[in-house]
Amino acid sequence: MAKKAVESVNLIESFADFQDNKHIGRATLVSVLEECFRNVIAKTYGSDENFDVIVNPDKGDFEIYRNRTVVPDGEVQDPNKEISLSEAQKVEDDFEVGDEVSQLLKFSDFGRRTILTLRQTLASRILELEHDTLYNKYKDRIGEVVSAEVYQSWKRETLLLDDDGNELILPRTEQIPGDYFHKGENTRAVIERVDNLNGNPKIILSRTSPKFLQRLLEAEVPEIQDGLITIHKVARIPGERAKISVESYDERIDPVGACVGVKGSRVHGIVRELHGENIDVINWTSNIQLMITRALSPARVNSVVLDAENRKAEVYLDPDQVSLAIGKGGLNIKLASMLTEYTIDVFREVDEVNEDDVSLDEFTDDIEPWIVDQLKSIGLNTAREVLEVPRDELVQRADLEEETVDDVLNILKAEFED
């Protein structure tokens, strides 16, 4: 058998580079390339059964051989699979009937349009491989922290690259207030989800997810890694404050102390990573009343009344503890609700109404009843109780317009001035 030297059409060079960069298996790459070549052969010759396709992605080239059986002159029925004796002897003069002739094809003979189609098909299939590889790499890693290099930032998102050059997306909505990224720096985030719409995978990262804080704490506390301490729940208001409930399976280990570390040594690095986000670690308990009491720390709670069916809790405190329970901007009570999964309402506990105080019910002629009800729903029952609360806090807690609060305060102040 003879093999004619033909021109080499270098269609695979870019894909050899792709293999190096994207870590697609050599066998998979060769299989896909061979499949594409055979599809072209089948369309051109009607069958690819008698063709040998040899792909060498390392060198960026390929060879296609057509194998035909020698038949007597004038008896060729299938020109694709058979060759006449006289034609075969032009290749080598010692061919006889029944021999097999293997000839190297000139790929240029397929025509410009066919070659262009092949290039497009190869590019499409390689892109599919890239997408499949990316998806398979990350689909089972949701909730895992990754470190990636910042490539570019836009208004709505930041693009990062992993060690293999794959693109990871950190949306603005998943960034902590104060996050600012410089090109080339490494940043950490948790894999929030892996979208695969229409076979086009997108790896979405998050730095605001409670899971991100949980993973950072797990990495800092050996007792969590060893299974001696477990994290029950993480509640976060990113960049502001977080509460974490933990439990120890070893009575000799203080879970809160172990997580915080000596003088806060174990959480300092996490706080810096989260731009100063304050972290409260709380000892978990199955007693929901006690858990709510702990979650409202640093406020001292007098009593808790539960409505378990509706997952609501009424918390009673001394007047000077209410603002602590609510916290600046309502952060403390909001986080406590998130941590316990109970809606928490706080109420001042007053032994008796001051003689010079006046019930809000006495002002229904000047203040609309629904506003009075709104104030009473947050534990304010008298005029002086309302006046003791800062104006901005009233706006937020009672969910009233600023102008409405100002009118109420003026009416109540006038009562005592008179």
Residues 44 and 154 in one domain: no
Same domain? For 85 and 36 the reply is yes
**127 and 27 within one domain:** yes
Q: What would the DSSP string read from start to end of 131-180? A: HHHHHHHHTT-TT-EEEEEEEEE-SSEEEEE-TT--EEEEEGGGSPTT--
For residue 6, tell me if it sits in a domain: no
Q: How much is the average pLDDT of 367-385?
A: 86
Give the mean pLDDT of 404-412: 90
Q: For helices 13-22 and 26-45, what crossing angle results, to 10°?
A: 150
Q: Is residue 165 part of a domain?
A: yes
Alpha helices in 233-368 (DSSP H): 255-260, 265-273, 288-295, 319-326, 331-340
What does the alpha-carbon distance between residue 323 and residue 396 come to, in Å, rounded to a whole number?
12
* Domain count within the chain: 4
Each residue of 274-295: pLDDT tens digit? 999 999 999 999 999 999 999 9
Residues 284 and 371 grouped into a single domain: no
In a domain, 332, yes or no: yes
Q: Both 342 and 375 in a single domain?
A: no
In a domain, 366, yes or no: yes
CATH code of 66's domain = 3.30.1480
> Which pLDDT does position 44 carry in this prediction?
84
Q: How many other β-carbons are positioned within 10 Å of the β-carbon of residue 326?
A: 24
* C-alpha closest to that of 314 among 362, 257, 376, 378: 378
CATH of the domain at 297: 3.30.300.20
Q: Which two tokens stand for residue 261?
A: 């570390």
Q: With 80 as the cut, is the pLDDT of residue 96 above it?
A: yes
Q: Lowest-confidence range among 10-24, 89-103, 291-305? A: 10-24
Are 67 and 167 in a shared domain? no
Q: Could you give the CA distance from residue 75 to residue 56 in angstroms, rounded to a whole number?
A: 37
Please indicate, yes or no, whether residues 304 and 412 belong to a single structural domain of this protein: no
Mean pLDDT along residues 379-386? 85
What CATH number is attached to the domain comprising 176?
Answer: 2.40.50.140
Residue 274 is assigned to a structural domain of this protein: yes
267 pLDDT tier (thresholds 50, 70, 90): very high
Confidence (pLDDT) at 306: 93
- Amino acid of residue 21: N
Report the DSSP beta bridge partners of residue 95: none
Question: How do the residues of the chain divide into helix, strand and coil, expressed in percent and rounded to 5?
Answer: 40, 25, 35
pLDDT at 33: 80
Per-residue pLDDT tens digits for 123-161: 787 788 888 888 999 999 999 999 999 999 998 999 999
pLDDT band at 351 (very low <50, low <70, confident <90, very high): low
**Beta sheet of 229-237, edge-to-edge order:** 229-237, 241-248, 278-283
Residue 202 has pLDDT above 50, yes or no: yes
Same domain, 286 and 180: no
**Residue 215 counted as domain residue:** no
Same domain for 336 and 369?
A: no
- What does the alpha-carbon distance between residue 331 and residue 240 come to, in Å, rounded to a whole number? 8
Whether 231 and 340 share a structural domain:
yes
Quote the CA–CA distance of 213 and 259 in Å, as a whole number: 12
Q: Which pLDDT band, with edges at 50, 70 and 90, does 119 fall under?
A: confident
Answer whether residue 9 shows pLDDT above 50.
Answer: no
| 318 & 377 share domain | no
**Residue 392, in any domain of the structure:** yes
Give the tokens for residue 266: 């174990």
Residue 186 structural domain: 142-206
**Does the structure show a pLDDT above 80 at 11?**
no
Domain check: are 85 and 193 in the same one? no
CA 39 to chain centre: 39
- pLDDT reading at 84 higher than 70: yes
In-domain check, residue 188: yes
